[in-house]
Amino acid sequence: MIEKTGVPSLEQVKQEFPDKVVLKKPKAIIECYKEIPCNPCHTSCPFDAIFIPEDINVRPKIDFDKCTGCGICVYNCPGLAIMVTQIKEGKILMKIPYEFTPLPKVDQTVNVVNRAGEKISEGIVRKVQLSEKQNKTALIHIELDEKYAYEAITIEVLHGS
Ligand code: SF4
Ligand code: SF4
């Protein structure tokens, strides 16, 4: 599917997720589906949780036991191909990369969209993280219903809302 539309199938997406039990703690989900010469996810992780071998074209592999969900790889990935996800009390808490301005505000309701760019739900912004070291890629923390765990990928901010 990704070859024709640029959108991965649900099966492809699910392959990148760990068990829901593992997702009780925040974990990085890497959706880097193509072999490309890139490795900032590997070099930026302070916990050595992302592995790319000597051949830099090989797709990154994550060790969920080592990942703390800190989000550093999320803002270091130039392809915006990583998010952090946690499932807690019927909600998903996501940390997504965001490079548009103006940034959303804490407690703002935003549209949550799927990998095809379609609105699937609303979510609430819980935190907006942007420091010097993030090189202008903000981390937006979003909370929404758990049922969208495999569909939600990013947000659409309607300014003035
Ligand atoms: S979220 Fe943090 S610990 Fe997990 S892979 Fe990314 S940088 Fe490493
Ligand atoms: S930094 Fe992002 S685009 Fe580059 S290999 Fe890692 S996940 Fe893929």
Q: Exposed, middle or buried by CB within 10 Å (0-12, 13-18, 19+), for 161?
A: exposed
The predicted-structure confidence for 68-115, as pLDDT tens digits, reads as follows 999 999 999 999 999 999 999 999 999 999 999 999 999 999 999 999
Using CA atoms, how far apart are residues 79 and 19, in angstroms rounded to an integer? Answer: 25
Which residue's alpha carbon is nearest to atom 2 within ligand 1?
A: 70
Enumerate residues 6+ apart whose C-beta is below 8 A from 154.
96, 98, 112, 113
The bound ligand whose nearest atom lies closest to the alpha carbon of 56 is 2
Nearest alpha-carbon partner for 138 in 109, 91, 115, 104: 104
Instruction: Give the pLDDT of residue 40.
Output: 97
| Amino acid residing at 111 | N
For residue 89, the CA-to-ligand 2 centroid distance in Å is 30
Q: Ligand 2 pocket test: which of 67, 74, 77 has the largest number of ligand atoms within 8 Å of its C-beta?
A: 77
Question: What is the pLDDT of the chain when averaged over all its residues?
Answer: 95
Which residue's alpha carbon is nearest to atom 6 within ligand 2?
A: 41
**What's this model's pTM, rounded to 2 decimal places?**
0.95
The answer on pLDDT for 161 being more than 80 is no
Nearest alpha-carbon partner for 28 in 9, 12, 44: 44
The predicted-structure confidence for 33-55, as pLDDT tens digits, reads as follows 999 999 999 999 999 999 999 99
Nearest alpha-carbon partner for 140 in 115, 113, 103: 103
Half-sphere exposure of residue 88, counting CA atoms within 13 Å on the CB side? Answer: 10
Using CA atoms, how far apart are residues 84 and 99, in angstroms rounded to an integer? Answer: 16
Neighbours of 31 (CB within 10 A): 19
Instruction: Give the pLDDT of residue 60.
Output: 97
